[in-house]
Amino acid sequence: MKNNSPWIHQLNKERVIEHLKKDIESDVAVVGGGIAGISTAFFILRDTLKSVTLLEGGRLGHGATGHNAGQVTNYFERSFHELVEEFGLEKASAGQRSIELAWELMGQMYTEANLDIPFSRFTGFAGFSTFEQIIAVLKNNVLRSRGGLDVRPLLIANNIESKDSIPAEYEGFYVLVPQTEILDKLETTNADFIALAESQKGVVNSALFTERVAEYLLKKYPDRFFLYEQTHINKVVLHKEYAMLDAETHTVKAWKVVLCTNGFDRIKIFDASGLEIDTRFHHSIHGVVGRMSGYLEDMAKPPMAISYYMGVQASFDDMDDPYFYLTRRAYEYNDNKHNLTCLGGPQQMIPDRAEYHPEFDYPEEIEKTTDAFLHKLYNIDPTKNVEYLFTWHGLMGYTPNGVRLVGEEPKNPVLLYNLGCNGVGILPSIFGGDRIAKLIKGEKLTASIFDPQDR
Ligand SMILES: Cc1cc2nc3c(=O)[nH]c(=O)nc-3n(C[C@H](O)[C@H](O)[C@H](O)COP(=O)(O)OP(=O)(O)OC[C@H]3O[C@@H](n4cnc5c(N)ncnc54)[C@H](O)[C@@H]3O)c2cc1C
């Protein structure tokens, strides 16, 4: 089965692509044309007078941005209490708040670029099936509350025996409800689910978002925004005041370079003396392949996002015990409106990111596993055969602590990063774009959990 993403399917196939045909200079060079690159370009152009050149090795939105689940969500794939352990309560809370504020930034991009593509916002659900998961969520919520973050009470089924073992310190952070309320919200009859968390969610085609914002920027800033696709940057050489980018047959000279490349596997960075910059830090971004499948139905249900946490898993980033997640949205296909339901299947860590190729087929056994999950958990006719019109996969670049890298390279501020896509990266990419624009504007920012560290 081919790597066939519903997001790429909706892109404009007639769009004319320009590649770099001469040596150029630009105030800022942004490398990578996914949602991080376009958001970075958007905020720099809007909030400064700098010229921006966006360089993409392939086509806009064809990386992780075109192969994700398209769920807009503001959680980290790391328990909040782990972030607090690593960074302290104040910094972890500020980091979480920044990602939550990115909803507003995304709204600004949508409105200012005059977009009319579907972007739905609603309350989404996460279902939990073990007492350990309940305690982990409550522990996070207590810390969130201490950090001044918004906390919604966890719904816990009033028929479970273990409810009497919930420590008193968590009182006020949960409510007991009939289990049917939980199962109805999770759209399941599977009685394993005993608790439910609610949070703000959304769905969008982030590749289409990227393409449309690029079209807007080209029109709005014809003298300051330049876009070159199929222009791979092999190497960046950093000097004290500027950088030279080697784009195969041509060069780009820029005062600042922002890497929005999702990782470092296809680019080399040197300082002027010829030394490669901090390879240990760069190689710490490891690859995870995520697989998705999607099917169409009549358009009868509202948009939704649900995660189902099974087994003993007590944190979001436990690869050995994957969770299953589902989004549903309005989707136009062959000029008709449908519901597109997308399912997140098992993820796979790969030791060397270079081993991943977008052209790889989607493994049939993964579709079977995902389909089994669907029939076990989701309210559909158990005898119904689901036809997956779309099956796709994408590569995520995971940072060691699950937090996106946003900021200046500690060894040379000519270079900045907005990368490390992780499994949740739409809002973090947008937040990153805004933060990079502030840095380029010269604003003094307080230290954050996103700052690249000299390792
Ligand atoms: C299966 C899957 C499911 C996901 N689900 C979600 C989700 O539901 N919600 C969510 O928020 N996030 C999700 N994510 C993560 C999200 O998609 C990413 O965080 C986000 O798209 C990252 O965007 P990006 O711009 O950083 O990276 P990308 O979209 O990968 O863009 C990087 C671009 O850089 C280009 N590039 C790289 N090197 C060079 C070079 N040397 N020269 C020129 N160009 C270069 C690449 O061609 C690519 O287009 C998912 C990801 C995957 C793979």
Q: Tally the domains of the chain.
A: 2
Q: What is the largest CA-CA distance in the chain?
A: 71
Ligand 1 centre to CA of 358 (Å) is: 12
Span 48-76, mean pLDDT? 96
Which atom number of ligand 1 is nearest to the Cα of residue 292? 1
351 pLDDT above the threshold of 90: no
Q: How many of the other CB atoms lie within 10 Å of CB of 355?
A: 12
The 10s digit of each residue's pLDDT in 159-199 is 999 999 999 999 999 999 999 999 999 999 999 999 999 99
Residue-wise over 48-61: b if at least 16 C-beta within 10 A, else e?
A: bebbbbbbbbbbbb
The 10s digit of each residue's pLDDT in 195-229 is 999 999 999 999 999 999 999 999 999 999 999 99
318 pLDDT above the threshold of 60: no
Ligand 1 centre to CA of 135 (Å) is: 33
Which atom number of ligand 1 is nearest to the Cα of residue 206? 21
Same domain, 296 and 185: yes
Ligand 1 centre to CA of 273 (Å) is: 31
Q: Does the Cβ of 396 fall within 6 Å of ligand 1?
A: yes
Same domain, 189 and 300: yes
Same domain, 435 and 301: no
* 12 is a domain residue: no
* 424 is a domain residue: yes
Q: Does the Cβ of 405 fall within 6 Å of ligand 1?
A: no
User: Would you state the pLDDT for residue 367?
Assistant: 80
Same domain, 302 and 354: yes
- Give the domain CATH number at 369: 3.30.9
Same domain, 239 and 354: no
Same domain, 353 and 220: no
Q: Does the Cβ of 394 fall within 6 Å of ligand 1?
A: yes
Could you tell me the residue range of the domain that residue 242 belongs to? 17-68+206-284+401-441
27 pLDDT above the threshold of 80: yes
Q: How many of the other CB atoms lie within 10 Å of CB of 221?
A: 16
Q: Does the Cβ of 93 fall within 6 Å of ligand 1?
A: no
Same domain, 174 and 310: yes
* 336 is a domain residue: yes
Ligand 1 centre to CA of 356 (Å) is: 14
Of 262, 289, 342, the one to substitute when testing ligand 1's pocket (max ligand atoms within 8 A of C-beta) is: 262
Residues facing residue 226 across a β-bridge: 53
User: Would you state the pLDDT for residue 280?
Assistant: 63
Banded pLDDT at 438 (limits 50, 70, 90): very high
Which atom number of ligand 1 is nearest to the Cα of residue 420? 26
Ligand 1 centre to CA of 352 (Å) is: 17
- Give the domain CATH number at 232: 3.50.50.60
C-alpha–C-alpha distance, residues 150 and 75, integer Å? 12
Banded pLDDT at 38 (limits 50, 70, 90): very high
For 234, the 3-state DSSP assignment is coil
* 450 is a domain residue: no
Same domain, 351 and 235: no
Same domain, 178 and 141: yes
**β-pairing verdict for 195-204 and 336-350:** unpaired
- Nearest residue CA, atom 22 of ligand 1? 421
Q: Does the Cβ of 36 fall within 6 Å of ligand 1?
A: yes
User: Would you state the pLDDT for residue 397?
Assistant: 81
Which atom number of ligand 1 is nearest to the Cα of residue 347? 1
Its pTM stands at 0.95
Q: Does the Cβ of 426 fall within 6 Å of ligand 1?
A: yes
**β-pairing verdict for 324-333 and 304-309:** antiparallel
C-alpha–C-alpha distance, residues 300 and 287, integer Å? 37
Same domain, 296 and 369: yes
Same domain, 178 and 210: no
Ligand 1 centre to CA of 261 (Å) is: 8
Which atom number of ligand 1 is nearest to the Cα of residue 327? 8
For 337, the 3-state DSSP assignment is strand
Same domain, 312 and 387: yes
- Which residues have C-beta within 8 Å of that of residue 365, sequence separation ≥ 6? none
Average pLDDT over all residues of the chain: 92
